[in-house]
Amino acid sequence: MKKLERYFPALSWLKGYSRADLQTDTVASFIATILLIPQSMGYALLAGLPAVTGLYAGIIPSILYAFLVQAAHWLSALLLSPP
């Protein structure tokens, strides 16, 4: 199990995940999605691709990143990313 936690850090923190954490994380993910959708669609259109491509390119990596990166690194990436 420790070897899996090394590659999937979410396995270690999911054990202590509470209902209160779910509520705050749901609000945060909703806000991030509101910001991500128009931005990713716009970049796809600028690249000459269908807008739906931007949605896939923005949402799928975000979900994978949440499970493959430790929370401290994830928070840093969100705070340091350009607007």
The Cα 33–Cα 21 span in angstroms is 18
Please report the pLDDT score of residue 49 as a whole number: 94
Asked if the structure places residue 16 within a domain, the reply is yes
Question: Total structural domains in the chain?
Answer: 1
Closest CA to 81 of 65, 23, 47: 65
Range of the domain at 67: 8-80
Asked if the structure places residue 1 within a domain, the reply is no
Asked if the structure places residue 66 within a domain, the reply is yes
Asked if the structure places residue 38 within a domain, the reply is yes
Question: Structure pTM?
Answer: 0.56
Asked if the structure places residue 2 within a domain, the reply is no
* Tens of pLDDT, residues 10-40: 777 777 777 887 788 778 778 887 888 888 8
